[in-house]
């Protein structure tokens, strides 16, 4: 009941959507709250904000409920996902989940105010030394999801916590590495979405977000 009330209050205060961050483990509570809030007038889009490490059959339960999927594609191979995130077979589950998300909500729909009302947005964080496998990720999206998919190509990787234990991850990305990531994105035919451009290496932190050129 409390979550349902919070959703309604957010709508009343002028929020454009309900953004649920890493919510899979509390899905039953969310669905219960929606069953209370929707009859009381909840109508703004529901955003499912996820790391993308999801079971496709779980995502299938959200068909007709979630309006917007905001999902990461973090790694292109198993060895990297295990080494840095302890995520077994991340690419396998991530790719299947993304295809299920696209099947449910399709290409992102942006209204006249520049707000997304439905669809899939894929975030990809560029890592130093191409550890994220950017080209492979972009190729998968273009070939297996849609070349019209909206991409948020992120440059703000910041080494923290245990990053100093991995020399290959212990620095920010370079301007050249981000340029190569953009080339991979455009080279795979993906032009919808957002870039995070820099004002020099010291500012390569996603502070200037702008639409990708059509």
* Residue 42 and residue 7 in contact, taking contact as beta carbons nearer than 8 Å: yes
Q: Write out the two tokens for 138.
A: 């972009």
- Write the CB contacts of 150 (distance below 8 Å, at least 6 apart in sequence): 107, 108, 119, 120, 121, 122, 192, 193, 194
- 48 contacts 118 by C-beta, under 8 angstroms: no
Q: C-alpha distances in angstroms, 31 versus 23, 25, 87, 105, 119?
A: 11, 12, 27, 18, 19
Task: Name the token pair of 196.
Answer: 């995070």
Reported as a single tens digit per residue, the pLDDT across 74-121 is 999 999 999 999 999 999 999 999 999 999 999 999 999 989 999 999
Residue 164 is predicted with a pLDDT of 87
Residue for token pair 């996902």: 81
Give the pTM. Answer: 0.90
The domains found in the chain, sorted by start residue, are: 45-211 (3.80.30)
Is residue 96 within 8 Å of residue 72, measured between CB atoms?
no
Q: How far apart are CA 169 and CA 159, in angstroms?
A: 7
Mean pLDDT by 10 residues, the chain (214 residues): 94 96 94 95 96 95 96 97 95 98 97 94 96 98 98 91 90 92 97 79 48 56
Considering only the C-alpha atoms of the chain, give the largest distance between any 2 of them, rounded to a whole number of Å: 53
Evaluate the CA torsion angle 212, 133, 70, 178 in order and state its sign: negative
Q: Please tell me whether residue 174 adopts helix, strand or coil conformation.
A: coil
């Amino acid at each position: 009941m409390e979550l349902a009330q919070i959703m309604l209050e957010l709508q009343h205060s002028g929020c454009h959507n309900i953004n649920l961050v890493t919510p899979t483990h509390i899905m039953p509570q969310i669905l219960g709250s929606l069953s209370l809030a929707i009859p009381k007038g909840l109508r703004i889009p529901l955003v499912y904000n996820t790391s993308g490490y999801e079971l496709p059959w779980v995502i299938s339960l959200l068909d007709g409920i979630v309006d917007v999927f905001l999902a990461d594609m973090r790694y292109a191979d198993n060895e990297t996902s295990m080494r840095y995130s302890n995520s077994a077979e991340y690419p396998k589950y991530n790719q299947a989940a993304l295809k299920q998300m696209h099947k449910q909500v399709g290409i992102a729909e942006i209204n006249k105010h520049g707000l997304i009302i439905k669809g899939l947005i894929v975030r990809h964080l560029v890592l130093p030394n191409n550890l994220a496998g950017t080209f492979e990720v972009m190729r998968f999206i273009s070939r297996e999801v849609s070349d019209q998919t909206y991409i948020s190509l992120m440059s703000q990787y910041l080494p923290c916590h245990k990053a100093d234990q991995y020399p290959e991850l212990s620095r920010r990305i370079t301007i050249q590495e981000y340029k190569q990531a953009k080339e991979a994105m455009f080279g795979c035919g993906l032009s919808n979405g957002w870039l995070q451009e820099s004002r020099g290496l010291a500012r390569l932190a996603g502070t200037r977000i702008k639409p990708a050129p059509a």
